[in-house]
Structure 1
Amino acid sequence: MKEYIKLLEEEEVLKRLSIIQLISYFGAWFSNIAIYTLLLGLNVSASIIAFVAMLNFLSGVIQAPLSGPIIDRMKPKKLMLILISIEIIATVSLVFVNDLADLKLLYLLIFFKMAAASFYFTTEMSLLPKILDGNKLRLANELHSIIWSLSYTLGMAVSGFVVYWLGVKIAFLLDGMMFMIAFGLLYVAEMKIEVLHIEENFIRMMKDTFVYLRKTPKAFHLMILHSFVGLTAFDALVALMVEQYYSSIVATALALGLLHSARAIGLVIGPIYIGKWINNKRLIYIFIAQGLAIWLWAYMMHNFYLSLFASVVVGFFTTTLWSYSYTLLQKNIEKKYYGRIVAYNDMLFLSSAAFTSYMIGFLATHSFSLESITVIMGSGFLIGALYYTYILKTQNIKEIA
């Protein structure tokens, strides 16, 4: 933890971005719990729950091809302010969703809200390698993941109680207020980041990116590797678990909040314990451990309290897996392509997460038990371990530190 504090003291821009990130991510999870509580209260089908979970990621997939060239050409602060503004409008507008007739409005608002959030995330992640390098970049990515996880933990936990006591509409309004605070902090922040002068038009820039990927196959392999983390898109699975197993034990909003919070505890503490231990070769073991942890979750799923424990174990490996695979990509690409490559990387990751969400709903409506679905998701990480072994043998991957 001392390393992260020292990094924030040395890097003023990173410190400001981290504070804004903490506030905006914290606000985001209010609406997440409220949306699923609203859907379960309307007695929608498993396929609709899975579709909503898929929308959280699909919006980012659709805008990704355009976001890369925009990021490489536009001042980051201006772009990030525009994106937060979109999140504010979409979030506050969720109060107008009241019944099944408003589902189309819900889909539209989630699409724009998450597209802006994904765009913002890609902008920030392409910004980090421009201001940091080596071990600092690795620590910054881990810190980013820890902040996300901490926001996730507190946001989910507090939101569960807020929704339970005050209702979903108050949660949506609080979410919007959080984004407004983040907007204000970013607006007054000093951020002097060099923007490369690029003369090519959007189409030329997109074509140039694909040419670069053909010439640099290790970048493409690392993008595919990072997309395996998309198999941890558990939102639809958790909602279905609450509906099927735990609704008679604890209120829906509280159950959702507690399960997500338990996993987020693992997300926060994982990199603290294994962040210094991880290196290129040891990443294989993290993939294997993640798969086994998800299998453990499947085994304990019937019992709510054991499921909480298993959720912590599942989260323990995810942050390191996400941050290290992301840093590997950043370390192994040229500066000129940061925005575009990171955008396409996020597109693959979000596609994986969207497909995972869709398959959870599809399998759940075709006689697959939630336990068997969870086992399938865990197996994906064992395949990821084999794929990464192939990458290490065939590609010249730079060490991070």
Structure 2
Amino acid sequence: MFDRIRPYINLVSNNQAYRRLWLSQVVSNFGDWFGILAVYALITRYSDSEFLLGLIIVVKMMSLASFSPFAGYLTDRFNRRRIMIMCDMLRAVIVAGLLLVVSYDTLWLAYVLTALQMMLSAVFEPAKTSSIPNVTTEEELVDANVLSAASWSIIFTLGMGFGGLATAWLGTDLVFIIDACTYLLSAWFIYRATIPQERMSEAELKRTRNPITGIVEGFQYLWNNKQIMRPTLAKAGYTMFLGALTYMLILISEDVLLMGSVGIGLLYSARGVGTGVGPIIGRRIFSQEKDWVRAMGLCMIFGGLMYAVVGMTTSLVVMLVFVFIAHAASGANWVMSTVLLQRRTPDTFRGRVFSTEWLLFTLAQSISVLTASWVLENGWLTIQQAMVVFALSLSVIGILWHNTIAKDEEAYQENLLDLSTAEKR
């Protein structure tokens, strides 16, 4: 057992720059998940609308999506370390502003502040993900991403679990204060880290001084390099229906399990643990990177089938088990697509590629959640019926992926093999 975790221990112990970047992720992620249930609690406290609850998720995702193209341009053109510090400090101020939401009449403020917080996250996330290859060796890169995913899941589990209890016992105000402090601590870790970055050439800087030019250039690069486009689509393809399914877990806890914030905390904790374990399992099953694009489609099929079981049961234990398994598949998909993008994309385009990935991901999730909330608001399906429909739809997307995009990747891998064989001759 110790031999399996030794590479991750060595990575954190010996690589100071990655360790500090990783610690910033740990503390800020804890605050994010610790505080998110408090935002949901505000909405349910001052309104009784399933649509308004779904709308806060849509606002988060659409804010990420709308700012993502400009965010990618910023993270390729300017110093990523400084950008991340600035984003953390501003997010601390914004989260503290949620203390001003005290009635239905001020509930709009929660949506505005959440939108601003997510716009900053749209800058921070591609800057962080683009920086990981710059603070690790080729051999460390996969371990670094697996550790980041595992850490995310552990923090997600603890944050959601403690956040549900803290929201119920301590109240939302104290939760928001703790959340703001985590951003400040994250900024301090990044301030102490050394994060190299390949800068654009003078010609590139001059050519892309107009943000529109830089953004369009990033889209053109992605379109012209299909080997990069394929993993860019993986997260969006998965969340096209998974976004609605994770949203419906909130309503399952409220309406089926009748457990409120505690039930949400437990279900989301199972989600978090699965997301962390999945990349480790996936790495063992799919040890060859050439198989990863095909594996992404298999993960979609499997994850959808697991969520269909969640929609057909009323047992908390069964739900926890199958939510865990479904998100193990999701976590494997996430890490495989991230590593492929990091390996295949040059540093000066990496921010724009990852921001485009975020754009597609957040648009897909927003549409997914909005559709599910509208269906439920109008009573067209019960919560359990809706979960089964969206789950089976996810499996259909996986089948389509397996029969189209995975086949294009296989042709690309065969071409690489032919070129390699020709060079050896």
Q: Secondary structure at the match of 2:195?
A: coil
In structure 2, distance between residues paired with 1:144 and 1:225: 18
1:253 alignment counterpart = 261
In structure 1, distance between residues paired with 2:364 and 2:139: 28
Instruction: Summarize the alignment of residues 299-338 of structure 1 with structure 2, pairs less than 5 Å apart.
Output: 299-300=312-313, 302-338=314-350
In structure 2, distance between residues paired with 1:397 and 1:327: 17
Q: Secondary structure at the match of 1:276?
A: helix
In structure 2, distance between residues paired with 1:114 and 1:206: 19
1:221 alignment counterpart = 230
Q: Is the 8 A contact 1:298 1:375 kept in 2?
A: yes
2:355 alignment counterpart = 343
2:216 alignment counterpart = 207
Q: Is the 8 A contact 1:328 1:398 kept in 2?
A: no
The answer to which of 281-290 and 11-20 deviates more is: 281-290
Q: Deviations over 1:33-84 (max 9, x none)?
A: 1111222223421111111011121111010110111111111111001110
The answer to which of 138-147 and 163-172 deviates more is: 138-147
Q: Deviations over 1:217-265 (max 9, x none)?
A: 3333332233123233245312222221233xx3x22122111112212
Aligned-residue offset at 1:94:
0.6
In structure 2, distance between residues paired with 1:80 and 1:334: 20
> Could you tell me which amino acid in structure 1 is paired with residue 42 of structure 2?
L
Q: Is the 8 A contact 1:28 1:175 kept in 2?
A: yes
The answer to which of 110-119 and 135-144 deviates more is: 135-144
Q: Is the 8 A contact 1:290 1:314 kept in 2?
A: yes
Aligned residues with identical type, % of pairs:
22
In structure 1, distance between residues paired with 2:334 and 2:7: 19
**Within the alignment, does 1:375 sit opposite 2:388 as a pair?**
yes
In structure 2, distance between residues paired with 1:86 and 1:326: 27
> Could you tell me which amino acid in structure 2 is paired with residue 232 of structure 1?
L
2:404 alignment counterpart = 390
The answer to which of 342-351 and 211-220 deviates more is: 211-220
> Could you tell me which amino acid in structure 1 is paired with residue 353 of structure 2?
I
Q: Which residue of the other structure, out of 108, 111, 122, is the alignment partner of 2:112? A: 108
- Any gaps of 5 or more consecutive residues in structure 1? none
1:56 alignment counterpart = 60
| Alpha-carbon distance change, 119 to 215 in structure 1, aligned in 2, over 3 angstroms | same
In structure 2, distance between residues paired with 1:290 and 1:253: 24
Instruction: Summarize the alignment of residues 128-147 of structure 1 with structure 2, pairs less than 5 Å apart.
Output: 128-132=132-136, 134-147=138-151
Q: Which residue of the other structure, out of 61, 69, 75, is the alignment partner of 1:71? A: 75
In structure 1, distance between residues paired with 2:412 and 2:284: 19
Q: Which residue of the other structure, out of 275, 294, 305, is the alignment partner of 2:307? A: 294
Aligned-residue offset at 1:370:
1.7
Q: Is the 8 A contact 2:122 2:355 kept in 1?
A: no
Q: Deviations over 1:288-340 (max 9, x none)?
A: 2212111121122x233332222222222111111112222333333331111
Q: Is the 8 A contact 1:332 1:398 kept in 2?
A: no
> Could you tell me which amino acid in structure 1 is paired with residue 279 of structure 2?
P
The answer to which of 28-37 and 226-235 deviates more is: 226-235
Aligned-residue offset at 1:135:
5.0
Q: Is the 8 A contact 1:226 1:326 kept in 2?
A: no
Q: Is the 8 A contact 1:331 1:398 kept in 2?
A: no
Aligned-residue offset at 1:391:
2.0
Q: Deviations over 1:112-146 (max 9, x none)?
A: 11221232111111122334465532222222211
- Any gaps of 5 or more consecutive residues in structure 2? 415-425
TM norm structure 2: 0.87
1:184 alignment counterpart = 188
In structure 1, distance between residues paired with 2:36 and 2:319: 20
Q: Is the 8 A contact 1:228 1:381 kept in 2?
A: no
> Could you tell me which amino acid in structure 1 is paired with residue 331 of structure 2?
T
**Within the alignment, does 1:240 sit opposite 2:251 as a pair?**
yes
In structure 1, distance between residues paired with 2:200 and 2:15: 21
1:24 alignment counterpart = 28
> Could you tell me which amino acid in structure 1 is paired with residue 168 of structure 2?
Y
In structure 1, distance between residues paired with 2:406 and 2:47: 48
Q: Give the RMSD, CA atoms, in angstroms.
A: 2.1
> Could you tell me which amino acid in structure 2 is paired with residue 294 of structure 1?
Y
Q: Is the 8 A contact 1:225 1:387 kept in 2?
A: no
Q: Which residue of the other structure, out of 251, 265, 272, is the alignment partner of 2:280? A: 272
In structure 1, distance between residues paired with 2:257 and 2:361: 30
